[in-house]
Chain A
Amino acid sequence: MIRFEQATKYARTKGIKKPIIEDVSLTLNRGKSVGLLGRNGAGKSTLLRLIAGAIKLDNGRIIRRGKISWPLGFAGSFQGSMTGEQNVRFVARIYGVNTEELIAYVEDFAELGPFFRAPVGTYSSGMKARLAFGLSMGVNFDYYLVDEITAVGDTNFKKKCQAVFETKLQDSDLIMVSHSTGTIRTYCHCGVVLEKGKLTYYEDVEDAIRAHDKNMKEN
């Protein structure tokens, strides 16, 4: 369960103050994967970082029951000067999981070949996505926070993601940000629309997509 209690967060850049969420109270229960929709710059990625606990609210609180992943996204949580393997070792250590097992899993999943032992800085975005995806799937979380990452990579990779998600989703949930409504439909049961600092929850993901489309038309 993830519960927002009067949660407020403003984004501040160069003197411009913009609400991400304003006085939001909402409960996301276990057992349902959530698609997070919202226009460009609404703060979907920031919201994921808030849920992960990587950044803090200005006001209110988020109660988390269960183990939550870091946000898996393009920007990447990888240190470019470290090799893929070193990055995996690092994550294994900070999450306290077996290092060798995780390395074996990720090496097999990401299919980076010799690049697994090359600095991440030399990777293409597709390779980074494979590494990030494999890495997070190798650590067991109750919630996986996914930020657009399935959009990168070729069909082969997408198939693989789908396969691993299907097994994972039996006991874990997704909170997914994607501009592709198709992806959201595939993975999510319910939806949350982020608009003007408000979160609106929809039991049926189709309703969420409809509401989002309506927002986009109104502009």
Chain B
Amino acid sequence: MTAVSYLSTHVRVVGALLVREMSTRFGSKPGGYIWALLDPAAHILLMTLIFRGIARAPALGTSFALFFATGYIAFQFYQAMTGYLNSAVRANKALLSYPNVAPIDTIVARFILQVGTTSLVAFVVLGTLVTTMRIETDLHWPAILEAGAMACLFGLGVALVNSVLFLKYPLYEQVFNIVNRPLFLISGVFFLPDSIPAPYHDLVLINPLVHIIMSFRQGFYPEYRAIGLDMDYLYGIAFLTFFAGMLVFTLSRKTLRNE
């Protein structure tokens, strides 16, 4: 097989998988793709209502909704990605019996779909919030895009590793889920890591998601200083995870094909 026909097969397969994923993920529910939007929007609304009752003002700016939405959506770029991609190979197991379909194709298709979905959610939810706010906001796009891209890359890397390890070690899946769940609480969706006292501040900053959320928020709050934000660290972790994931995934072809 020549390189061109090899590549064109991959493109065809990813295209077919994209259609398949879209039709089974949302197509079977009434309302369809609307849920991809409604679910995070409802989540943010709920959190906003709860915290408005508890606190007087958000840690940044004046809008609770914008504060949570920026944190939550930045977090979702990672969390929704891994959640969806972890099972990409497993969910398409039957289709892997076609020699044309490679395990990586299932990952690529879901990655494209998830980047698209979360970006759409970000545009609609954050767009609505920013345009309806009384105070004019200057968006700093590079910070937003950087944070989103790193979150996707990091999530992809984690999912590549997980795809293999979940199949090899079912116990690891349990452990991962236990560790992954509280991430939502400690990644700075609700609070600013800047406000954490000294010994714990450094601990919190080990978590790359904290940096993702800080960078993302910088794009919406020009006055936000984001003390401790280290983009080099974030890039390092994200690329390292991604390369490790590619390596593990490539070396584990047999496990993924279920031989």
Whether A associates with B in a native complex is: yes
Report which A residues bind B (CB closer than 8 A): 11-12, 49, 52-56, 68, 70-71, 75-82, 86, 89-91, 93-96
Interface residues of B (CB under 8 A from A): 9, 12-13, 15-16, 19-20, 23-24, 28, 92, 94-101, 253-254, 257, 259
A78 contacts which chain B residues (CB < 8 A)? Answer: 94
A90 adjacent to B16 (CB under 8 Å): yes
Q: Does B15 contact A93, Cβ atoms closer than 8 Å?
A: yes
Inter-subunit contact B257/A86 (CB<8 Å): no
The answer to whether B98 touches A94, judged by C-beta atoms less than 8 angstroms apart, is yes
CB distance from B226 to the nearest CB of A (A): 43
Which of B9, B12, B28, B98 lies in contact with A54, CB distance below 8 A?
B98
Main secondary structure of the interface of B (DSSP, over half): helix
User: What are the residues of chain B within 8 A of A75 when measuring CB–CB?
Assistant: 97
The complex places the Cα of A66 from the Cα of B100 at a distance, in Å, of 14
Minimum distance in angstroms from B35 CB to a CB of chain A = 17
Residues of chain A lying within 8 A (CB to CB) of residue B19: 89-90, 93
Q: Is the CB of B20 within 8 A of A95?
A: no
Of B12, B23, B95, B99, the residue contacting A52 (CB under 8 A) is B99
Q: Quick check: A94 and B100 within 8 Å, CB to CB?
A: yes
Q: Which of A71, A80, A86 contacts B20 (CB 8 A)?
A: A86
Beta-carbon nearest neighbor of A56 in chain B:
B253
Contacts beyond the supplied A54-B96, A81-B28: 19 A-B pairs with Cβ under 8 Å: A54-B97, A54-B98, A54-B257, A55-B254, A56-B253, A70-B97, A70-B98, A71-B97, A76-B94, A77-B97, A79-B24, A79-B92, A79-B95, A89-B16, A90-B16, A90-B20, A91-B98, A93-B12, A93-B19
